Amino acid sequence: MDPVDGFAGRVFCAMSKHSRYERALSEMYGLRRFGIKLELSTMSRILQNLGNPHLKFESIHISGTNGKGSIAVMLSSILQLAGYETGLYTSPHLVTFNERIKINNRQVSNTDVVRAYEAIKGLHGDARQPTFFEYTTAMAFHLFAEKKVDVAVIETGMGGRFDATNIIKPRVSIISNVSLEHRSYLGSTLSEIAFEKAGIIKAGVPVVTGARQKSVLTVIENTAKQRKAALFRIGRDFRVVRRQSGARFSYYGIDRRWKDLRTGLAGAFQVENAALAMAACELLIDSGMTIGQEAVREGLAAARWPARLETVSESPLILIDGAHNLAAARHLAAYLAENLYDRKITLVTGILDDKPYRAILKTLVPMCDNVIVTRARIDRSIPPEILAKEVQMLGAPAVVAGSVKEALALAKNRLPGRDGAICVAGSLYVAGEARHAIVKNGVMQPAI
């Protein structure tokens, strides 16, 4: 459940000052003053007043620390190719609000956003004012029902047990993995956080997990047993074998074997995310849905997820990855070591104040030749001067840039020839601003 960032909140200012879309976004972004509320009564009341739109389509529910979005886009791509009208709800957005709600991989229109917002406005009645995330979740469900999607892939915002999305009744639940995050809301130990994530497990609904830690698995297994939900674990019930060279792999599943697959998402760790998506597909097939092997194969290959190991420019080479927590930073470092070992890398980074910035920098800085520290347009950004001191303590020089756009310009000017590369990482907000600076009219530009 992401707080709303200043950058995204300013996107609408570029539009007509009198548009209904702008006014709707302005009012929604204003809801951030109500903070984060982890409970479901307000969502339940809103959805009841809307006619329970979340019960009018099938759904798949995904929680976890990392990989939720990647699994979601893989499943959405597979289901669409299998012939289903498919909704996709993810967060946060990188540039425009509409990215959060997609149907058949197309963002909903500004008109759709306004109509959904106005349908929900005032429906909470005597309950407290909804939060931003509750509002957007209700809007997504309303639009999915209105557009008559067959199935929607729903990503949790924070945790799971009291997440606003946990009102749905899915066919399959997925818990990607669990690591320490959002401790002020979810708990200070892995077991406590796992308990919140496992809250999406429903009675009799099968669940797939990529978690491996004993303390986490104990919680998930106990929750599944209590709710009589069949549990399928990576490494025990299904697995993947990746070729030593290249991005291809084979899946040895619960009941099926699919060989010579590849995913359109970069990074060796995406193979495990693909395994979770494929295990979910097996369970969906067993529940009566028609998903052919070619839909699985082509859907995985076609999946795209912006700002996750995304190459946005070839000349110069610019890679954008959120890497917004320690586990994600480790994945990025492994990718750089494996794929960009022969490049001189300039790191552009900014980190939020609720993240383990010292550990993230300790992971990423040794992989890079130059470091430019900056900040996203959000109040929770760590001042770049603090990041610069930490980089220097790691034995590397650091340059401070006042904005992401300025940092990109500095990085480009400092590229050491054709073997140089720029890597933007440390926050999805920094990634979003960087992508906005590089992408124009939906087309990747060869230079900044």
> Tell me: the pLDDT tens digits for 27-43?
988 876 556 666 788 89
CB atoms within 10 A of CB 436: 17
CATH topology of domain 6-302: UDP-N-acetylmuramoyl-L-alanine:D-glutamate ligase (3.40.1190)
Mean pLDDT of 143-161: 95
CB 39 within 8 A of CB 163: no
What pLDDT does residue 447 have? 37
Mean pLDDT of 273-282: 98
Q: Is 314 exposed, middle or buried (0-12, 13-18, 19+ CB in 10 A)?
A: exposed
CB atoms within 10 A of CB 16: 9
In the predicted structure, residue 74 carries a pLDDT above the cut 60: yes
What pLDDT does residue 35 have? 61
Residue 377, classed as helix, strand or coil, is coil
Amino acid at 173: S
Q: Has domain 310-444 been given CATH number 3.90.190.20?
A: yes
Give the total residue count for the chain.
448
Taking alpha carbons only, the member of 382, 376, 319 closest to residue 355 is 382
In the predicted structure, residue 167 carries a pLDDT above the cut 90: yes
Report how far residue 375's alpha carbon sits from residue 403's, in angstroms, rounded to the nearest whole number.
6
In the predicted structure, residue 9 carries a pLDDT above the cut 80: no
pLDDT digits (tens, 9 = 90+) for 332-345: 999 999 899 999 99
Cα-based distances in Å from 194 to 5, 204, 214, 227, 255: 27, 19, 11, 16, 27
Report how far residue 168's alpha carbon sits from residue 72's, in angstroms, rounded to the nearest whole number.
16
pLDDT above 70: percentage of residues in the chain: 89
Strand partners, 174: 62, 208
| Residue ranges covered by each domain of the chain | 6-302, 310-444
What pLDDT does residue 143 have? 98
Report how far residue 289's alpha carbon sits from residue 287's, in angstroms, rounded to the nearest whole number.
6
- pLDDT band, very low/low/confident/very high, at 379 (cuts 50, 70, 90): confident
Report how far residue 300's alpha carbon sits from residue 265's, in angstroms, rounded to the nearest whole number.
8
Q: Which two tokens stand for residue 390?
A: 């930490």
Amino acid at 125: G
DSSP state of 12: G
CB 210 within 8 A of CB 236: no
pLDDT averaged over every residue in the chain = 89
Report how far residue 138's alpha carbon sits from residue 220's, in angstroms, rounded to the nearest whole number.
27
- Whole-angstrom Cα Rg for the chain: 21
For residue 151, the surrounding DSSP H or E stretch is: strand 151-155
Out of 47-61, 400-414, 432-446, which region has the weakest mean confidence (pLDDT)? 432-446
Residue with the bigger pLDDT between 349 and 247: it is 349
- pLDDT band, very low/low/confident/very high, at 51 (cuts 50, 70, 90): very high
Residue with the bigger pLDDT between 12 and 339: it is 339
Residue 256, classed as helix, strand or coil, is coil
| Residue carrying the six token digits 């976890």 | 64
In the predicted structure, residue 124 carries a pLDDT above the cut 70: no
What pLDDT does residue 14 have? 43
In the predicted structure, residue 367 carries a pLDDT above the cut 60: yes
Mean pLDDT of 166-188: 83
In the predicted structure, residue 291 carries a pLDDT above the cut 60: yes
Residue with the bigger pLDDT between 60 and 315: it is 60
What pLDDT does residue 18 have? 47
- pLDDT band, very low/low/confident/very high, at 243 (cuts 50, 70, 90): confident
Q: Is 192 exposed, middle or buried (0-12, 13-18, 19+ CB in 10 A)?
A: middle
- pLDDT band, very low/low/confident/very high, at 187 (cuts 50, 70, 90): low
In the predicted structure, residue 264 carries a pLDDT above the cut 70: yes
Residues near 381 by Cβ (< 8 Å), separated by ≥ 6?
Answer: 350, 351, 352, 353, 375, 427, 429
Helices then strands (H, E): number in the chain?
A: 16, 19
What pLDDT does residue 446 have? 40
What pLDDT does residue 418 have? 79
pLDDT digits (tens, 9 = 90+) for 381-393: 999 999 999 999 9
What pLDDT does residue 440 have? 55
What pTM was computed for the model?
A: 0.87
In the predicted structure, residue 444 carries a pLDDT above the cut 70: no
CB 411 within 8 A of CB 399: no
CB 439 within 8 A of CB 312: yes
Angle at alpha carbon of residue 131, lines to 86 and 87, rounded to 5° = 0
pLDDT above 90: percentage of residues in the chain: 74
Beta strand 58-63 pairing with 106-107: unpaired
In the predicted structure, residue 415 carries a pLDDT above the cut 90: no
Q: Which two tokens stand for residue 358?
A: 């010292």
Mean pLDDT of 397-412: 94
